[in-house]
Structure 1
Amino acid sequence: MRATLRQAARATVHLVLAAAMAFGSYLFITILLITATGAVAVVGVWLLPETVLLIRRIAGAKRRLTASWTGREITEAYAPITGPVRERLRTAVRDPGTLTDLRWMAAYYAYGWLTVLMLPLWPAGLVVDGVWSGLLGRRALVLPLIVRLADVEAGWSAALLRPSPRALLARRVEQLTATRADAVAAHGSELRRIERDLHDGAQARLVALSMRIGLAQRAYAADPDAARKLLADAQDQAEEALTELRHVVRGIHPPILTDRGLVGAVRALAARWGSPRSSEAESGGGLRVTVQTDGLPDEARAPAAVEAAAYFVVAEALTNAAKYSGSDRAEVILARFRTGLSVRVRDEGCGGADESAGSGLLGMRRRVAALDGVMRVSSPVGGPTVVEVELPCVW
């Protein structure tokens, strides 16, 4: 009985809010009539986009209310209303989401009042169910009816507010356009980084190497000892140039990914961060990294582009943790799910990560978006910082 009462109480709250929204929708028809009159007269045509935005907010509130009852999110698919008045008007009229919201609002005028009419069943249900249960020892009847009514109301709203295939397609095209632009920007940024690394690193060292070899050739006959010293310096320069080239190659596609796969590469990366002799540890003050795999065996291989993006996310997130978090430990979790790969990097540092501060988060997000992935960052002040990435792929 207590479980029934709790569920009925939740249903009542849902129905009260739905009834209030239905009542507000009836009042809103006045705004719609004013807008329609103004649009016909052309004088108030600028009101139409603002009215559509207001309808979107009302429909969005109803989507959230319905999702809180059903536990299933209702997707929104709207074209952004921006730009000059003419463009805003065109978008407001042609957007398929506008028709969806208007259809829901028209239907809600009809079935919304059912919630108002059924609400008195709650106090009456307490009396009837109490008498029924006390006399006959049977299960309550009215309270489950209230729950059922909330289910029906939420089901109708969910069906009416669900975006049309055309709206979903338009939103998908918009998302792909944005991710393509991000991919192009990320590609251009990567090319500039490679060019800068080659120019400032390997190229400079190769020029110095060529100069030392030339000087050694000139000094070889007159001063063999000086020539040998110049050749020794040239050898050091050659080794440093090779190191720079390896660094550039790792930035393009780490060879260790090809040799060991993602799991092995991430474990090697964690080991380098924990080694006091590594350049990573020296730059960040040392970072103990634990790596966990959830349903992802060492031999499991995702597509090369997915592995490279996941490795880049882990490497960049660990770099940020070492430089900015103030924590000496971090955790990496790699997990395989049916349609993709998830990466989770967590540190217990000071938090407050900001994508606009040049911490590499924007580059991570662009690389993930280019593969149609999703990236979430949680970094409240005081920590912890958690970077979660989901990359779709076929196993």
Structure 2
Amino acid sequence: MRRAWLATRHLLIGAAVSLACYLMLGLLLLGLVATLLIVGAGILPETVQTVRRFASFERRRVGARTGEGVPQAYLPLTGPVAERLRHATTDPATYRDLRWVLAQLVYGLVLCYLSLILWLPAIIVDGIWCGVLGRRPVVLPVFDVLADLSCSWSRGLLQPPPGADLAQRVEQLTETRAGAVAAHGAELRRIERDLHDGAQARLVSLSMRIGLAKRAYDRDPEAARKLLDDAQDQAEQALAELRHVVRGIHPPVLTDRGLDGAVRALAASSGLSVEVAADGVTDGPRAPAAVEAAAYFVVAEALTNAAKHSGATRAEVALTRTPGMLRVLVRDHGCGGADESAGSGLIGVRRRVAALDGTVSLTSPAGGPTEIEVELPCAW
């Protein structure tokens, strides 16, 4: 009886979904008419987004009953209105959702009505069958069959189009590749600028002082000695500039001390009171150099932003090693309100992480705290 009731409840909710499908169709028609009249081009993408949420609800219902989720693959409805409208009207998954809405109008109500009609006969027949003959129920299991049939039809209609996962992956890789190329170009320009304005200028000045010292060596040894002393200072400054450039490419401290030690060195020089926790990062083999470098620069950017903009006096950094993943969490107790569009630092972090197929999550409500959480795929 309990299983029959659970199956019937699933069908009752399905009937409610069917009734809501009428509303979905009305919204779609309204959005289509508004778009054709060019007075509401932004309505159709929003309507399609609503239908997507509705279809996602049905996927979750099917997954909850069967124990196997229904995947979904949609083109993103973001960006300018023209791009959102193009994705809304050309995405094959949109038409699959529409097909499901039309079919759900029929089978959702029919299966629900059928289950309600069968309840009284099922109780009578199975009561006699079980009470008199002592046999297992023969009619009540039909409700499971009806609910499973509804799930099977919904799953078949809502499955992503063939190749949708591959197309979505290709699009994602195209975006991350473009971001990686942009980040690489910005990094090259930064290195060129640092070399031109720093080390190159120092080396030019060094060459001039050595040339003057050679000319003055015979007639004024003291002046030549002073010029050579200045040249030595210039050489040391040029070396310092080159070390700074090298640290920006791949910090030597990462090679020498590993990610844990490098992050602790960052924390000590940040000007904040930083608590560092490393869970399993030092256990076993190290992460690949690219992953360690990305994690290091995430922490460096987050602590720099915290010291410059947040007004915070303390922060926490957590490095966590999980199977196939390195998780980095930086939290500062400042004023919050971090805005990615206000500068290139956080955008650079996203590009660097996306190039490694990782994810970035930023939470920064007004009043704080600000949290940056990064997950990097990692073959330890």
The bucket for the TM-score relative to the shorter chain is: 0.7 to 0.9
Match of 2:250 among 248, 253, 257: 253
Q: How many Å separate the matches in 1 of 2:50 and 2:342?
A: 32
1:330 alignment counterpart: 315
Q: How many Å separate the matches in 2 of 1:197 and 1:391?
A: 29
Is residue 96 of structure 2 the alignment partner of residue 100 of structure 1?
Answer: yes
Question: Which moved further from structure 2: 241-250 or 288-297?
Answer: 288-297
What's the offset of the Cα at 1:263? 2.1
Flag the 1:66–1:251 CA change in 2: closer, same or farther, 3 A: same
Match of 1:232 among 229, 232, 247: 229
Q: How many Å separate the matches in 2 of 1:151 and 1:384?
A: 47
Q: How many Å separate the matches in 1 of 2:85 and 2:187?
A: 36
Flag the 1:298–1:160 CA change in 2: closer, same or farther, 3 A: same
Q: How many Å separate the matches in 2 of 1:300 and 1:321?
A: 31
Q: Which runs of 5+ in 1 are unaligned?
A: 121-145, 274-280
Q: Contact between 1:213 and 1:230, CA under 8 Å: does it hold in 2? A: yes
Q: Contact between 1:373 and 1:390, CA under 8 Å: does it hold in 2? A: yes
Residue by residue over 1:75-96, the C-alpha shift from the partner in whole angstroms, topping out at 9 and shown as x without a partner, is 442265988989967x656532
Q: How many Å separate the matches in 2 of 1:34 and 1:379?
A: 37
Flag the 1:364–1:19 CA change in 2: closer, same or farther, 3 A: same
Q: Contact between 1:339 and 1:394, CA under 8 Å: does it hold in 2? A: yes
Is residue 264 of structure 2 the alignment partner of residue 267 of structure 1?
Answer: yes
Q: How many Å separate the matches in 2 of 1:353 and 1:81?
A: 22
SS class of match (1:351): coil
SS class of match (1:260): helix
Mapping of residues 50-89 of structure 1, within 5 Å:
54-64=47-57, 67=60, 70=64, 75-78=72-75
Flag the 1:208–1:118 CA change in 2: closer, same or farther, 3 A: farther
1:244 alignment counterpart: 241
SS class of match (1:292): strand
Is residue 197 of structure 2 the alignment partner of residue 200 of structure 1?
Answer: yes
Q: How many Å separate the matches in 2 of 1:48 and 1:232?
A: 72
Q: How many Å separate the matches in 1 of 2:38 and 2:166?
A: 28
SS class of match (1:259): helix
Q: How many Å separate the matches in 1 of 2:235 and 2:331?
A: 39
Flag the 1:288–1:174 CA change in 2: closer, same or farther, 3 A: same
Q: Contact between 1:186 and 1:367, CA under 8 Å: does it hold in 2? A: yes
Residue identity in the other structure for 2:281: L
Match of 2:208 among 206, 211, 214: 211
Residue by residue over 1:321-368, the C-alpha shift from the partner in whole angstroms, topping out at 9 and shown as x without a partner, is 111111122211111222221111111111111111115000000111
Question: Which moved further from structure 2: 166-175 or 255-264?
Answer: 255-264
Match of 2:164 among 163, 167, 170: 167
1:132 alignment counterpart: none
Q: How many Å separate the matches in 2 of 1:184 and 1:253?
A: 18
Q: How many Å separate the matches in 1 of 2:103 and 2:233?
A: 79
| Pairwise CA RMSD | 4.2
1:112 alignment counterpart: 108
Residue identity in the other structure for 2:313: D
Flag the 1:50–1:255 CA change in 2: closer, same or farther, 3 A: same
Q: Contact between 2:259 and 2:296, CA under 8 Å: does it hold in 1? A: yes
Question: Which moved further from structure 2: 45-54 or 291-300?
Answer: 45-54
User: How many residues are aligned here?
Assistant: 347
Please give the TM-score of this superposition, normalised by the length of structure 2: 0.75
Please give the TM-score of this superposition, normalised by the length of structure 1: 0.73
Q: How many Å separate the matches in 1 of 2:189 and 2:42?
A: 42
Q: Which runs of 5+ in 2 are unaligned?
A: 117-142
Q: How many Å separate the matches in 2 of 1:197 and 1:97?
A: 49
